[in-house]
Amino acid sequence: MRNPLLENWNTPFGIPPFTKIEDTDFAPALEAALQIAQDEIAQISENPEAPTYENTIAALELARCDLDRVAGVFFNLAAADSTPAREELQREFSPRLAAFASETALNEALFARIERLWQQRRNLALDSEQTRVLYLVRRRFLRAGARLRGGDRVRLKAISERLARLSTRFTQNLLTDEREWFMELAENDLEGLPDFVIAAARAAGAEKARTSPVITLSRALIVPFLQFSPRRDLRERAFRAWAARGANGGETDNRAIAAEILALRHERAQLLGHTDFARYKLETEMAKTPQAVRKLLMRVWAPARRAAEADRKVLEEMMHAEGINGPLEPWDWRYYAEKRRRAEHDLDEAALKPHFRLDRMIEAAFDTANRLFGLEFRRLDVPLYHPDAHAWEVTREGRHMAVFIGDWLARSSKRSGAWCSAIRVQQKLAGDIRPIVVNVCNFARPAGGMPALLSFDDARTLFHEFGHALHQMLSDVVYPSISGTSVARDFVELPSQLFEHWLERPEVLERFATHAETGAPLPAPLMRRLLAARNYDTGFQTAEFIASALVDLAFHEGPPPADPIAREAEVLAEIAMPHAIAMRHATPHFAHVFSGDGYAAGYYSYMWSEVMDADAFAAFEETGNVFDRTTAARLEQHILSAGGRDEPETLYKAFRGRLPGVEALLKGRGLA
């Protein structure tokens, strides 16, 4: 029987033929594609002809095409719509793919060809993009151990395979804990909850095949429950379950896995000539050193902690006034912060949320992209991997730019969080290849027939991930390895965080924040109060983030901790973390750090990018028109279309003329 994953996809825009793909197709397709990739690497390394840019570097760029195509489909589905069969395949193939990557990087003949081209680069008549790709390919091989010999090479390969197994296990354990825990609510437990939370709880109960409403560990459901439930006992139970993900003992416990991952990363960094993993990781980032990261984080930590402590006193007094003694606890903060917000800013989430319909916020993101970059979006009637997912063709002046797939609602088969990925990236090496970009979120599922409603934070998440999608859609490079979001980790969040600013613009809210039932626009007084309160509770939000970033940095700087949980506690004590605020991501469920190396020693990058995004949006404000097309064209030219074709500092300076300071960030967060 023919395997649809290995055939030419005669579908609109080359979208994978999802309805034809069975789980049983993935293993043979991955097997075949992996063998093709191995054969292609062997042909390049064993080529008897002298190395040229075309027969070595360009050939390498194309060597994984079949594998990338199959893996792009598989890993997107494994994250967004997991099944037991897909989880088993992840456990089988993740270490094999890691082994293939190691074998490629440690191929002596192949690296010799790359090194020879590097030494001859000034005589090769390369353009700037080719020179950049050659530099990055060589650097990637060096950082993967190309110069190691003997037992060190064998050990490095074993470490890579083991890390792939552990990261997959960490992610799947977390998904299992999130999928299996839920708290049933009796009808009297719903007292005090707004209608949208009750509707989401009933929808979650239906998904769990329960007749009663339930609270799950989906952030889109548990956070509003913690905000609104007057039942302190239920808030505590829900919060403790949320905080305990990955630390419940048994087969899904992630604590020993985290310790082993940290030890292996440290060993790998030392094999590659670095003191520790943090210095290895940051060498290629904008920050360059752990000291630079810590300096930024601590510069913001001090005012954030002061603001949080001032807020804690107020919230604790509110709690005591209700006759509840003792300190404010983490399961109390959101409840009393929401009460205070209603009192001080006259903002009621229940009144606000009907104005943020999911479909209208999607339209708002599309319209903003149109006004800035001239992009147009046409809904496609094509079969996708799940009924929740929808697709659009993206065009500009009649030219096909991308396919965009949005999958926004929470379900038990989807891992938590929000992300942007690409099933196919933009490139010109194998023709004018346009990307297929996916945004995945976990917004609360509405009751049957009702529109999905977002919080303002949810809407910001939608805009954030769409900013990543624009980075992919507007990419305009030749070589796939530098396409789209293939940039330094502490630069990749700039486009996403920058795009969030447009959600807060009155001209966007006036048009798209329309009431779900009446269609009436967001009342002007309510909009003013919403925007005036956008920095409300910023001490809490900043503290929970920085604590996680500092713990991540401490894990990877110096010797690895034998007990990560104890090291986490030490870091929190060193910075005097407020008792009533928990880390945004505690170690056993810190997927950013332990589900792969991407954000390891790099969780700080959101804040590093925030320094730039505040300054970059100021460039639009300075024109007197935040939709200024000239500034948008400059942003596209130097950042969104550029991918990784130059150093981030160079790209940002080309757009803005200089690098920014931290002052814009502090001002933007109300911490100046």
302-312 pLDDT tens trace: 999 999 999 99
Place of tokens 């063998």: 35
At 349 the pLDDT is: 82
The answer on pLDDT for 599 being more than 80 is yes
Cβ contact 639:651 at 8 Å: yes
Instruction: Report d(CA 299, CA 491) in Å as an integer.
Output: 19
Cβ contact 408:387 at 8 Å: no
Distances (CA, A) of 440 to 437, 589, 592: 10, 19, 15
How much of the chain is helix, strand and coil, in % rounded to 5? Answer: 60, 5, 30
Domain residue spans of the chain = 12-105+107-143, 181-245, 354-532
Band of residue 1 on the pLDDT scale cut at 50, 70, 90? low
Q: List the CATH code of the domain at 354-532.
A: 1.10.1370.40
Q: Which CATH class is domain 12-105+107-143?
A: mainly alpha
What six digits make up the tokens of 270?
A: 């030392």
Please give the mean pLDDT across all residues of the chain.
95
Catalytic residue among 40, 178, 465, 568: 465
Query: What pTM was estimated for this model as a whole?
Result: 0.94
Residue pLDDT, tens place only, 468-509:
999 999 999 999 999 999 999 999 999 999 999 999 999 999
Instruction: Report d(CA 602, CA 274) in Å as an integer.
Output: 17
Closest by alpha carbon to 514, among 531, 529, 527? 527
Residue 465 is among the residues annotated as catalytic for this protein: yes
Distances (CA, A) of 505 to 502, 508, 510, 534: 5, 5, 9, 12
Band of residue 547 on the pLDDT scale cut at 50, 70, 90? very high
Band of residue 166 on the pLDDT scale cut at 50, 70, 90? very high
What six digits make up the tokens of 495?
A: 């486009």
